[in-house]
Structure 1
Amino acid sequence: MLAAVAAVDPLSAGLLAVAAPLVVVFLVLVGHRAQAAADRRHAGLALLGGHLLDVLRGLPVLQAHDRDRAQVEQVRRAGEHYRSGTMATLREAFLSGLVLEFMAMLGTALVAVACGIRLAEGMMDFGPAIAALVLAPEVFLPLRRLGAEFHAAADAEPLLRELAAAGADNGAGMAVDGAAGPVTRGEGVTGPLRARPATSGGAEGVADPRVAPIVLEQVTVRHADRRSPALDRLSATLEPGTTTILRGPSGAGKTTLLRVLLGLTAVDEGRVRCGGDDLSRIDPAAWRRRIAWVPQQPVLLPASLGDNVRLGVDATDGEVRRVLEQVGLLALVAALDGGLDTPLGDGGLPLSAGERRRLAIARALLRDPDLVLVDEPTANLDQRTAEQVVEALAGLLRGRTALVATHDPLPQRLGDRTLRLRAGRRDDRAERGERIATPAGAPR
């Protein structure tokens, strides 16, 4: 296009040849800032996505610990942070476009001034002047396209870097960590977790499971994806201050029963009572403040070790150290340079499966619950680690009402009674030495 202008008017072509490189120079200068802003925006998107994933993974536990509403504000703040980052990126992009258009307009204006002066002086014919003015903006059209492509590349470059890094990791034999487990079995939240206490003392008006029995009366729970009920007219009584071992094959309804007691799954038929309180008619948050939940696969929070233990309980460092000592993790803390401030979670200190479960038990101890619900505490652990977890669990269960779902004989020795399930129903066939849980309505 510059050659076409030169054929019509060499002077106009010369002016455009000077202006075009200046456009490129300013485009590069502004483009570096736009690239940095795009990188920050991509990092913010990754942070927001990770935050939402943590919240979704830990939603059952957040509800059990009465922390689900507190996460709404944290998600809102994370979204606001990403929005402001996106606006900053757009400002940089608009600035780049403004510079490009200004320099293109300036080049075209120089051609117009040069042509106008020569027309007024009679040094140039009208035809070549009009042709030069019409062709001048077209000289800058490829530069405009270059600017648009640059911003598209700036958006794509962070993703390309991640894909390249992932390809290198796969080539080196790296594997994706799937230890977090399904959403309904994990724990995970992001950010500081000390907004308000979540201890059993705040559950006034709700019967105390340490004193009143928990009674299941003909409880039936149906899932949309299953033809048969997950729980089928189940009746049982959890005696106050005792530990009931929940046994049964996979799919027997153990997890569903735990979720019912957590208040995360509604009962289709029958009812669950604690003392005189029907759990479907009381405040779920007040009920959950009396409960501690120890899942099979605790997920570490992207926070400090101390905040991982607190999980919504306003406790001092001394109180945190006390419960860590009870579960046998205080020596681990003493060996860390950062102590309780050592970061955990992604990119932080890695913990073994046994250490994670003992940390989950420490969380429960700090809450001082009335009811303890435990899911497969020793699954997939070696004998020595399982014994350490059971020893820590014994301190948590002592004097509290508890329901422990397990296949392993090791934690079963902590139980006072056994509740067997098969296809969602009670199975009262006792093995030698077992004491069967009391059916609802039976004399105690």
Structure 2
Amino acid sequence: MKPFDPRLLRYASASRSVFLLGGMLGLVRTLAILAWSWCLAQAITAVALPALGGFGGAAGRVAEGAFTPEQLPFLIGGGLLALCVRSLAAWGMDAVAARGAVRVKTQLRAAALDALDGRSPERSDGRSDAELATTLGRGLDALDGYFSGYVPQLVLTLVATPILVVAVLLADPISGITVLIVFPIIPVFMILIGMATQAVQDRQWAQLQRLSSSFLDAVSGLATLKIFGRERRQSARIAAETEEYRSRTMKVLRVTFLSGFVLDLAGTFSIALVAVTVGTRLVNGEFPLGLGLFVLLLLPEVFIPIRQVGAAFHASTEGLAASGEVFSLIEGNAGAGSGIDTAADPVAADPTAVTDLSAGAPVSGASTVAPDGAVRFSAARIARGDRDVVGPVSFSVSPGEFVALAGPSGAGKSTLLGALLGFVPLSGGALERPAELAWTGQRAGLLQGTVAANVALGAEQADADRVRRALDTAGLPELPGDRELGAAGAGVSGGQAQRIAIARSLYRAWSLGPGTALLLDEPTSALDRATEARVCAALRAEAESGRPVLVVSHRQAVLDAADRVERITAATAQEGTR
């Protein structure tokens, strides 16, 4: 957990303006502090010296450089003006930070969602949906505290502290040297306390993630829990997770309060040390009163930013922890996050070369474009970690062929399709594929909107005639294209949803021409025999139009309709016949 992560500037351009404008306003505020401290010190001196026995009546250098009482209105007016400028600059910094926080959160969420949208469905990064929702929701919302509290104080520490230390050093070298000696004590305490804070904050954030996952699991399986009478046990489990989160939150608060106390104590001792030396010299008449008061008024301003930046940092650690996960999510989209090495794929280097048209997203993977437009596996192997789960597999689907891929559940049939689509990298062997792919997965993947919008998903503008033709071909002549679907395609049956997904892949294949390969994963699992026969006839017609058609299926009707059946196990593939 870093006090400032440079990746923030890279992924959230709005943060740059926050630091730039904050720095400018911080400089204005610092100059106003200098003017206010000088005017106030001189005004107090002008009032106090006559009370000490007449103007100039004090001994030694006490009255050196003092203003006369007649100049008091000028000093008071200057001090008030400086105070107003200081207040406006402080308000401006808070406003810039607050508005910047909104823009930064928006940009980080957009970047993270783009990363999620572009990742492989076969990702294995270990993040659950509940963890992602917590990170992108509450986690990023916690950045409000980081920007509204921590960033302004960080800017002041970087801008104001050096200027004020130089001012003290020029006004009184002895006090300035003392400040330079005692000032590093506070950062040392901050580092030590920050290490303790990081440990407790990381545990608190991990507990929040577990609590979110537990709640989502309980809600998702509520019907099953009710059937078996186990809902009370899950309630007790969530209550225990909540209590653990409360306990860890209290530990974070204890460390935060302790850090504030330690930083205030260190700052107070440092100020007192300088004040004693200034006071001693004033009593001995070795130091001008006006200059001494100026130094004493500046001392708290020197230490306030570094003390407050420490306290604000501890109050914003949750947002920092969440932003770190967001950065990892964004950067993990390619490579470790998706499980795909795009650098090794000459096809993936051109995002338009091969397209998963069912989802409208570019694909990648270890594959090349087949010059003859065929789908071809050559001793292809796919591994999960150190274990091969598919292969070696060798078979091909030529343009004009309708091939069925069969085998027991878990043999890796869908994984082979994932390799074709670029979702899964090959661990050995090679595969070739046409330049364009149209795909239907085991899940329909419908979205809220019209049926036509779901069929033409990814197209800039839906072709109404082509949508109608696709629905008719998929066995939905009675379903109107303007029918509205609810969330996740609510409003149609499972069989209708499956046929809409088939219509989507047909629409895409027709949009790209006869060379587009058609890939379908269990397309008829929810269909009756008559509808299944109609879909098989449509697939046969697509193959006869000159495109390769590869269908994963357990259904005998699909296997009977295919030109050839490829049967695979988890370890090998064999070419079969009808």
- TM-score relative to the length of structure 1: 0.46
> What's the TM-score, normalizing by structure 2?
0.36
Larger Rg over CA atoms: 2
